[in-house]
Amino acid sequence: MKVAFACDHAGFSLKEAIVARIESLGHECLDLGAHEFDADDDYPDFARYIGQAIQHGQADRGVLCCGSGVGASVAANKIKGVRAAVCHDTYSAAQGVEHDDMNVICIGGRIIGIALVDKLVEAFLGATFSGEERHIRRLEKVKAIEAAGEYKS
Q: Per residue of the chain (153 residues), what is the pLDDT tens digit?
A: 999 999 999 999 999 999 999 999 999 999 999 999 999 999 999 999 999 999 999 999 999 999 999 999 999 999 999 999 999 999 999 999 999 999 999 999 999 999 999 999 999 999 999 999 999 999 999 999 999 876 555
99-120 burial by CB neighbour count: b if 16+ within 10 A, else e?
A: bbbbbbbbbbbeebeeeebbeb
> What's the CA gap between 26 and 96, in Å, rounded?
21
Is 7 a residue of the active site?
no
**The predicted structure's pLDDT at residue 152:** 55
**The predicted structure's pLDDT at residue 153:** 53
Question: How many C-beta atoms lie closer than 10 Å to residue 40's C-beta?
Answer: 6
> What's the CA gap between 71 and 110, in Å, rounded?
13
pLDDT digits 0-9 by tens, 128-141: 999 999 999 999 99
**The predicted structure's pLDDT at residue 125:** 98
Is 66 a residue of the active site?
yes
**The predicted structure's pLDDT at residue 149:** 76
**The predicted structure's pLDDT at residue 138:** 96
| 87-42-24 Cα angle (round to 5) | 45
HEC assignment per residue over 51-69: HHHHHCCCCCEEEEEECCC
Domain boundaries, given as residue ranges, for the chain = 2-128
CATH of domain 2-128: 3.40.1400.10
**The predicted structure's pLDDT at residue 122:** 98
Q: Which of 27, 88, 99, 135 is catalytic?
A: 99
Q: Which of 7, 29, 65, 66 is catalytic?
A: 66
